[in-house]
Structure 1
Amino acid sequence: MTDNDTQIRVDAGRLWAGAVATALVAGLIAVVGILIARGIVHVDVLAPKGEGVWGNANTVTYALVSAAVALAATGLLHLLLLTTPRATTFFTWIMVLLTLIAVVLPLSLPVDLASRVTTGLINLAIGLAVTSILTSFAPGTVRIEPPQHQQRHIGPYDETVEWREQ
C-alpha cells in the first residue's frame, strides 16, 4: 500500500531519448522489410514492382509512419507510467493488440496473397520491436519517491534512509 503523497517520477529525457532511438529502429525495419520483399522475394509491398527495389516515396512514408508509431507508443507509455499500476503490462497488451490489427488489416485487402502476408510480416516485426524495446528500458526511467514525512534522517552526515513500503 502506498501513501497518497508518494510521487512517481519519470526521467522524461531518458525515456524520450530512447523513444527517438526506437523510432529509428522502427523506420529501419520498415526499409529492410521492403528491401527484402522487393529485392529478394520479389513481392510488392507498397508500390508497383516498376518502382525498383528501393521503391518510391511510399517507402519513405512507410518508414516515417513506423517511426511516428514508435513515438506515439512512447507517449502512451509515458502516460501509463505516470498514472497506471503495472504500466508496462498494460502497455504490452495494448501494443500486442495494436500490432495484431496491423498484421490482420493487410490480410483483408483485395490484393495478392504474397503482398498481404509480406506487409503483415513487416508490420509484425515493427510492432514487436517497438513493444519489446520500449518495455525493456522504460522501467529504468521510473523512480518512486516516498512521502516527505516518511523519510528519516540519521547519522552525522544527515543521510536519508530509503523508504520502503510495509
Structure 2
Amino acid sequence: MTVQPTQGGAHAVAGGRLWAGGVATAVVSALIALVGILLARGIFDVPVLAPEGEGTWGDADTPKYALYCALAALLATGLLHLLLISTPRPLQFFSWIIGLAAVAGAVAPFVANGSTGSKVATGLINLAVGIAIGTLLSGSARAAMRDRRTAR
C-alpha cells in the first residue's frame, strides 16, 4: 500500500515496508532488553528488574519489560508513519523525538528507588533500546520512501 503525503511532500511511503521494518525493530528491541538483563544480572551480578534471589532471568518483570520495549518500537513506527505523511522533514522530527525519549528513558531509573548499579544498568538498557529504535526505524523509513515520480 502506498500512501501519498500531504500537499508539498516529495515522497510516497510504502506502508507495508515501513511496518515490516517496525515489526523487525520491535523484535530487536525486545532482544536488546533480554540481553541487557542477562548481562547485568548474569555477568555483572546487578539486580535489574527483580530482587537478587530471582536468578539470571529475573522474575515476571523480565518478559514484561521486553514486551514494553517491543511495544515502544511499534508506537514509534506509528509516529514515524504519521510524520512521513504529514510533516516537512519527517526524519529530522523523528530523530529529535526519539533522541529525547531515549534520554528520558536513560534518566528515568535515577528517580526511582534501587541500587546505583541497578539504576545505571537499567538506564543503559533503555538508552540502547532507544538508539536501536531510532536508527533502525530511520533506515526503514528511508527504504520505504520513494520519489513520487517513480511511485506512479
TM-score using structure 1 length? 0.82
- For these two proteins, the number of residue pairs brought into alignment is 145
Contact 1:28 1:63 in 2 (8 A): yes
Contact 2:17 2:140 in 1 (8 A): no
Contact 1:66 1:126 in 2 (8 A): yes
**Take 1:136 and 1:10, find their aligned partners in 2: how far apart are those partners?**
13
**Take 2:99 and 2:45, find their aligned partners in 1: how far apart are those partners?**
29
**Take 1:25 and 1:108, find their aligned partners in 2: how far apart are those partners?**
27
Aligned to 2:44: 41
| Greater Rg over alpha carbons, structure | 1
Aligned to 1:57: 60
Q: Given the alignment, which residue of 109, 119, 122 partners 1:119? A: 122
Greater mean alpha carbon deviation, residues 4-13 or residues 84-93: 4-13
Question: CA RMSD, aligned part only?
Answer: 1.8
Q: Share of identical aligned residues, percent? A: 51
Contact 1:10 1:141 in 2 (8 A): yes
| Structure 1 residues 48 and 6, CA gap change in structure 2 (3 angstroms) | closer
Question: Structure 2 stretches of 5 or more lacking a match?
Answer: 1-6
1:145: Cα distance to partner?
Answer: 2.5
SS in structure 2 of the partner of residue 21 of structure 1: helix
Contact 2:40 2:121 in 1 (8 A): yes
**Take 1:98 and 1:137, find their aligned partners in 2: how far apart are those partners?**
19
AA paired with 2:117?
A: A
Q: Given the alignment, which residue of 18, 30, 45 partners 2:33? A: 30
For each residue in 1:81-117, what CA deviation from the matched residue of structure 2 results, as whole angstroms up to 9, or x when unmatched?
A: 0011111110000000011111111012221111111
Contact 1:46 1:59 in 2 (8 A): yes
**Take 2:21 and 2:121, find their aligned partners in 1: how far apart are those partners?**
28
For each residue in 1:34-80, what CA deviation from the matched residue of structure 2 results, as whole angstroms up to 9, or x when unmatched?
A: 00010000001101111110112111001000000000000000000
**Take 2:95 and 2:115, find their aligned partners in 1: how far apart are those partners?**
31
Question: Structure 1 stretches of 5 or more lacking a match?
Answer: 147-161
For the pair 1:130 / 2:137, whether they are aligned, the reply is no
Structure 1 outlier segments of 4+, above 2 Å = 4-9, 143-146
Structure having the higher helix fraction is 2
For the pair 1:95 / 2:98, whether they are aligned, the reply is yes
**Take 1:23 and 1:76, find their aligned partners in 2: how far apart are those partners?**
14
1:135: Cα distance to partner?
Answer: 0.6
1:6: Cα distance to partner?
Answer: 6.3
Q: Given the alignment, which residue of 73, 78, 83 partners 1:75? A: 78
